[in-house]
Amino acid sequence: MAAWLCFSCGTLNNALKKEKRITCGYCQVETTWPKHDRRRKVANDAVKWGIVHRKLHEADLAKGRKVSYKLREVTELLEAVFWFITVSITGGVTYDIVKACCVRAVNAAREYNQKAKKDAFTPIGTPREIKEVEALIADPEKYEQMRREVEECIKGMPGVDPRVRMAALGRKAEASLRTAKLLAPEKLHR
């Protein structure tokens, strides 16, 4: 069995890897492993490069020097949040609904991590990410900032210094993000 976080509602589901179609037990949205994995990849690139590393590159530029830093990986929790916010931009979904999905996902991540603690496993969300998502839920200003960053990402960062844009996204990721709108779930379920 493999766990997967629904990108339409934030519910944690389990399914066999050999299943042709996988269905969310809460919102009944149906997808496939290849489609889910493709969404995960795009969201992972977006958050890792377009949000986390963008800030580091901007700080480098402001200081006029390269600060060495370690690549920070992101997990399925932030990938899910990326999609919730993307759908809120492309489909006009309200903050309330995004928040409900984030609450479900963050609770699922916490529960999953606790249950799986003793086994070798990949967490659904790191403790740091869980804190970050909790802050988004509690603070509309933080949410607005994240929403702006996601929006800039899926638009290819038009107003951002090209040096930062290239360093943060690169041509490959830029192309991949252009498809984000096409890959986004159709809607979110409260």
Q: Is the dihedral of CA 6, 172, 164, 177 positive or negative?
A: negative
End-to-end CA distance of the chain: 26
Residue 33 to residues 19, 38, 182, Cα–Cα distance (Å):
8, 8, 17
Smallest distance from Zn ion to CB 133, Å: 17
Smallest distance from Zn ion to CB 7, Å: 8
Nearer to Zn ion, 9 or 169 (CB): 9
Smallest distance from Zn ion to CB 11, Å: 5
Nearer to Zn ion, 4 or 49 (CB): 4
Binding residues for Zn ion (CB under 5 A): 6, 8-9, 11, 24, 26-27, 29
CA dihedral 121, 78, 178, 62 (to 10 degrees): -120
Smallest distance from Zn ion to CB 179, Å: 22
Nearer to Zn ion, 11 or 88 (CB): 11
Nearer to Zn ion, 11 or 176 (CB): 11
Contact assessment for residue 76 and residue 124, using Cβ atoms and an 8 Å cutoff = yes
